[in-house]
Chain A
Amino acid sequence: MFKHVLLAADGSDHSLRATEKAIGLISTQDDSFMTVFYAVDTQTAKTDVLHHYDGDMLKEERKKRLAGVEEMLQKANVNYEIVERHGEPGPAIVQFANESEFDAVVVGSRGLNGFQEMVLGSVSHKVAKRVEAPVMIVK
């Protein structure tokens, strides 16, 4: 079982599926710890500021986005922290994952088709390729 797991999540359905699997991966011992990583990309930052403007409201709104993930973790009695960083999800997750040592990294997959993957780029693919720790991609 893994002691320190990094879970990349943005509150979407596929990130909730990833949360479920991450909970299954993590050890039930007291010293195990899950880091939930939320990358805010430029487009999201732009939209969020436009729709909320005020700094505190904005933080509140982003916290709400991860409420589903938090709820699952609390139910499963997992120790966790939430880290929010600005950047494109792929590179941001890779950088953060390689900054400190994780036993495993879990990401959800959006399930893009070939064309979407070419234009949008696959986050999970980048993470799988460049993160040094073992990576689990949840479909």
Chain B
Amino acid sequence: MILALLKKHWLSNVKGDVMAGIVVALALIPEAIAFSIIAGVDPMVGLYASFCISVIIAIAGGRPGMISGSTGAMALLMVTLVAEHGLEYLLAATILTGVLQVLAGVTKLARFMKFVPRSVMVGFVNALAILIFMSQLDHFENATWAMYALVAVTLAIIYLFPKVSKTVPSTLVAIIVVTGIVLITNAGVYSVGDMGALPNTLPVFALPDIPLTLETLMIILPYSLTLTMVGLLESLLTAAIVDDMTDTDSDKNRESTGQGVANMVTGCFGGMAGCAMIGQSVINVKSGGRGRLSSLVAGVVLMFFILVLGDLVVQIPVAALAGVMIMVSIGTFDWHSLATIHKVPRTDATVMLVTVGTVVVTHDLAIGVLAGVVLSAIFFVAKISHVRVKASLEDNGKTKRYRVSGPLFFAACESFQKSFGLVEDEVEKVIIDFSASQLWDDSAVAAIEKVMMKYKQRDIEVEVTGLNEHSSSLAKQMKLGDNPNMSAH
């Protein structure tokens, strides 16, 4: 039984998984270094993270064939924490993020993904793309023409090399070629070595060196909360994409728990918090990776390359990495949403733009998502708060029947009350028919009461009818039933 499972998840596609794993490892290296630079930590922190996370997620994850590691979305959230408190606090925040994600997995929080509207998700990825792009602009400050030229060469190779060969990642070819150009011409541009140390050592276990106080917790908790949210959001989105590409299903709760375990371990081994990566997962699936083995191979091969080639890695010019990040940014942006922005409902477009705008201003993806969700909720309430009230005369004009349709709740009360005119002087009886409506809260009952009062003051009989079971029990609870003229069918 266990052997059969092992075979299915690990050994069913050995050749494809190993080949794809190697390709992914090569594509991961430049990104992991670049994300470290974004976060403001040594390149090793991002590389250790990508190693630990992809190895652990191979075992603990819920979506075989998906690749996780250090990511731009997570790196962008850490910038201020690193700048103000340093690496040790980042590692502690990473461990706490892991704990929170495990909790989210155990409590099956993944189902709440449904509550994040699609337009917010689109805003999220677009904002992420813009932030990654903006983070690269720093490298161009006071830069020489050489920097611009090298970035251009990098991008040209990245986009045109796939015409020559699709087996070798074009980002790696670009990095090697541009590093070669810099070494030969002595162009004098910044390299990875100038950005931080890159020791050729395996990560070692060490708990973060921080005071275990409430104050520490209050510093890292806000960061951990946003890291948890953004990490799970991107991981579950990536899992859904891999599900679709491979026509298989995956366990989203196990994936959440797995992401948590991976981050807890990463934090203990000197790595920064990470999550699943859409781009790398796509590379993996396209290269033939399907099983858990591909993620394991990616992590191990990445570490191997860093240990062996560490001295060469420090020579990589920052310009080449900036080129890779611009490519990541272009690939992340949902261009489809830009092309169809005039076609989608205006509220959806507004939610997307507000999400993007909030993130760009606050530099916080989590705040952007919250703003988007809240705005969507407001639009939703506004959309369904239109109750329609239709009047018709019965009984030779002596009775007027008002048919109410649509849910009646706090936001709909005003338009409900306004629907009852004051020209009822000639009728003797008014019937308010709720058979096509539903009362949702005490505001609804109060609104009905006010309308009834208005008629009673002018000696017009009022009958409330057609309340369904839930509505009439709510009405009774609110003592609307005390009125002798009221009958609920």
Contact = CB atoms under 8 A, between A and B. Distances in A.
A55 B243 contact: yes
Contact of B334 (A45, A50, A52, A121): A50
Given A58-B244, A86-B245, A50 B125 contact: yes
Interface of B: 113-114, 118, 121-122, 125, 159, 163, 237, 240-241, 243-247, 249, 278, 282, 286, 334, 336-337
Contacts of A132: none
Given A51-B122, A53-B121, A46 B241 contact: yes
Given A45-B241, A46-B278, A51-B336, 20 more contacts: A40-B244, A42-B282, A45-B245, A48-B244, A49-B241, A49-B244, A50-B237, A51-B337, A52-B118, A53-B113, A53-B114, A53-B121, A55-B243, A55-B244, A55-B249, A58-B244, A86-B244, A86-B246, A86-B247, A118-B163
B135 to A, nearest CB: 22
Contact of A49 (B240, B247, B286, B337): B240
Interface in A67-123: 86, 118-119, 121
A44 to B, nearest CB: 9
B36 to A, nearest CB: 26
Contacts of A49: 237, 240-241, 244
* Range class of the A interface residue count: 10 to 19
Nearest to A88: B286
Judged by DSSP, the binding face of A is helix
Nearest to B241: A49
Interface of A: 40, 42, 45-55, 58, 86, 118-119, 121
Contacts of A58: 244
Contacts of B125: 50
A23 to B, nearest CB: 29
B234 to A, nearest CB: 11
A126 to B, nearest CB: 13
Contact of A50 (B122, B163, B249): B122
A70 to B, nearest CB: 21
A97 to B, nearest CB: 20
A98 B122 CA distance: 38
Given A53-B113, A53-B121, A45 B163 contact: no
Q: Which residue, of B113, B243, B244, has the highest number of chain A Cβ atoms within 10 A?
A: B244
